Structure 1
Amino acid sequence: MRILILGTGGMANTHAKNFASIEGVTLAGGVDVDPSRVEAFCAAHNIERGFGSLDAALGWGQFDAVANVTPDSVHYPTTMAALAAGKHVFCEKPLATDHARAMEMTETAERLGLVNMVNLTYRNVAQLQKAREIVQSGQVGTVKHFEASYLQSWLVSRAWGDWRTESQWLWRLSKKHGSNGVLGDIGVHILDFAAYGAGSDFSKVFCRLETFDKAPGNKIGEYDLDANDSFAMTAQLENGALGVVHASRWATGHFNELRLRVYGELGSIEVQHRHDWSRLYTCLGQDAETGTWTEVEVDPVPTNYERFIDACRQGQNLEPSFRHATNIQKVLDMATVTDRERAEHAV
């Protein structure tokens, strides 16, 4: 199995390391518009060939699949080109910057019979997988309520780098550079985290977005700092459960933390995931009478990277698919509409 890594930014290193660790997988090529960057990337990961454009790589064509690690706004044209060339695609989230483009990508991949997956990375969290299993087994009973949050602190901490001077962060704060802000960048993760763990998709949403002042005139160089920094959402799931979802880059003290609580008529689960650990707690059966919570040990699960390779080898699509990511994108688009109209909308 031969993989092309499209884009050589920070996340591309994670893709390269994970794919290279899978038996029988070869990193066949790397692509970046910056010649020095792609050369360094290929050298660092022992990649066979480097290219200055996707067109050049597709013209060469000696690979089976593309790992698309380009900026959000570039996912659509590059994925469509890869699919047209008959390549399976493993795309970073979000699949596209709006529902219409995401749906076109989905329908194209399905029509061509190509494997398509989106790297919703928190599907790799074994505790989330186990939580979903518990909810779907009926141990918590009918789900009534849920809480989900995704907290980051890189606007108030330099632990990840300095967003004031580094383009790898500044573009995420600027609409004209392709960013849909916190809602588009990490909202896609926490919505998937919540829906997957609670075992049900979204049916209704109401969202408030906020962009805070970050620099004089909210501008640094060519970057207008106008993408949202925080959101707070009330939502209902198709199973009837009501809940709240919120996310922010101003969460001082939280480098990268996701949390999900699902409350049912018979019991509850809680998943906590940080950059350095993950935990699952349950309150089930008689423990519900005493409010006793127990930490559950879980075994590791296959990563998205491993499952994508398995899907390509089997010729059978696996989740999270383009279609799933397209459904999440619809929720994100509707959240923006509800913020503008100040009214709840059905998904």
Structure 2
Amino acid sequence: MRLLILGTGHMANAHARNFIEIDGVTLAGAVDVDQNRVEAFREKYSIERAFTSLEEALAWGDFDAVANVTPDSAHHATTLKCLAAGKHVFCEKPLATNYHDAMEMAEKAEAANLVGMVNLTYRNVAQLQAARKLVTSGQIGKIRHVEASYLQSWLVSKQWGDWRTESQWLWRLSKKHGSNGTLGDVGVHILDFVVYGTDTEIDEVFCRLKAFDKAEGNRIGEYELDANDSFTMTVSFTNGALGVVHSSRWATGHVNELRLRVYGDKGSFEVVHRHDGSKLLACLGDDIETATWKEIEVEPVPTNYQRFVDAVGQGKALEPSFRHAAKLQKAIDLANVTESDRKEHRLQG
């Protein structure tokens, strides 16, 4: 498979490093509007060609698939151009900035019989995949209650840098710079963590968003600090379970942590994924009577990058697909609506 990497920012390095290690993959081209940056990226990863526009790369056309690592707001237009040119697309999250655009992308990929997949990176967590098997095998029984959180601390810690002075963080706090806050940034990750781990879909959502005071007048230079820092969400699922999902950038002591607790009528599990490792704990069978939790060891799993290559080889999309990502975007869109009109909204139908 010959691959074009569209966009050469920070996340593009992860794409290049992962794809270059997969047998049968050639990094054929790279695109970035910055000539110096794309040339440096091409040289760093021994990529064949460098371009300063997608149109130029498509006119060349000597590639099979595209890793779309452009900014969120550019995913829709650039992906549609790639699909129209007959190229498979592996897109960074979120697939689009709204449900309408995301669904258009899914429908275009499906109509063209092209692979459209989204890099929801926490699918790479082996413990999450093992937890899902506990559900699908019946060991958890009927799921009744779900708890999930995505906790970061970069508003109170400088471990990833200083948000007060660095544009890569400041834009995430400003609506006019394209940010939908914590909900838009990591909401898709934690919602995918939940629905994949529980093997179900979201039915209804009710969400609250909060942007806390962070600077004098809540402004630093050109950045108005008005995007949400935290969200809390109640969720009902199509399997009948009730859940709570929340996230914050003010979670002191948590660099980057996803947690999922699932309680069923036959057993329970907890997945914890942190920047320094992951664990799967379960309370099953006779251990229920003594409330004994045991860690389950798991084997590594194929990454999203490998599964995209496999999907192109098979000629069909694997999960997480464009359509799945569009469903998650619908939940995020409706979560924003619930903050405005103060009532629950249903996704289905």
Aligned AA (2:43): A
Which consecutive aligned stretches of 4+ in structure 1 deviate over 3 angstroms post-superposition?
Answer: none
- Secondary structure at the residue paired with 2:138? coil
Is 2:202 the partner of 1:202?
A: yes
> How much does 1:2 deviate?
1.0
> How much does 1:3 deviate?
0.9
List per-residue Cα deviations over 1:142-178 (Å, max 9, x = no partner). 1000100000111111211222222222222222222
> How much does 1:51 deviate?
1.2
Is 2:18 the partner of 1:27?
A: no
Matches within 5 A, 1:188-337: 188-337=188-337
TM-score, normalization: structure 1?
A: 0.98
Cα separation, 2, equivalents of 1:341 and 1:80: 33
Cα separation, 1, equivalents of 2:6 and 2:213: 34
Residue 120 of structure 2 corresponds to 120
Aligned AA (1:248): S
Cα separation, 1, equivalents of 2:286 and 2:88: 48
Aligned AA (2:342): R
- Secondary structure at the residue paired with 2:207? strand
- Secondary structure at the residue paired with 2:285? coil
- CA-based RMSD of the aligned residues comes to 1.0
Cα separation, 2, equivalents of 1:176 and 1:44: 34
Cα separation, 2, equivalents of 1:48 and 1:245: 44
Aligned AA (1:12): A
Residue 9 of structure 1 corresponds to 9
TM-score, normalization: structure 2?
A: 0.97
Q: Is the 8 A contact 1:69 1:92 kept in 2?
A: yes
Aligned AA (2:291): G
Q: Is the 8 A contact 1:28 1:47 kept in 2?
A: yes
- Secondary structure at the residue paired with 2:29? strand
Q: Is the 8 A contact 1:149 1:190 kept in 2?
A: yes
Question: Which consecutive residues of structure 1, in runs of 5 or more, have no partner in the other structure?
Answer: none
List per-residue Cα deviations over 1:119-143 (Å, max 9, x = no partner). 0000000100000000111111110
Aligned AA (1:149): S
Cα separation, 2, equivalents of 1:109 and 1:221: 41
Aligned AA (2:232): A
Aligned AA (1:81): K
Cα separation, 1, equivalents of 2:161 and 2:38: 22
Count of paired positions:
347
Residue 44 of structure 2 corresponds to 44
Is 2:94 the partner of 1:90?
A: no
Aligned AA (1:337): V
- Secondary structure at the residue paired with 2:209? strand
Cα separation, 2, equivalents of 1:264 and 1:2: 45
Residue 104 of structure 2 corresponds to 104
Q: Is the alpha carbon distance of 1:35 and 1:215 closer, same or farther for their aligned partners in structure 2, counting shifts above 3 Å?
A: farther
- Percent identical: 70
- Secondary structure at the residue paired with 1:186? helix
Aligned AA (1:31): V
List per-residue Cα deviations over 1:199-251 (Å, max 9, x = no partner). 11100110000111222232233322221111000111100110100011111
Aligned AA (1:83): L
Q: Is the 8 A contact 1:72 1:179 kept in 2?
A: no
- Secondary structure at the residue paired with 1:257? strand
> How much does 1:317 deviate?
1.1
Higher alpha-carbon deviation: 271-280 or 27-36:
27-36
Residue 162 of structure 1 corresponds to 162
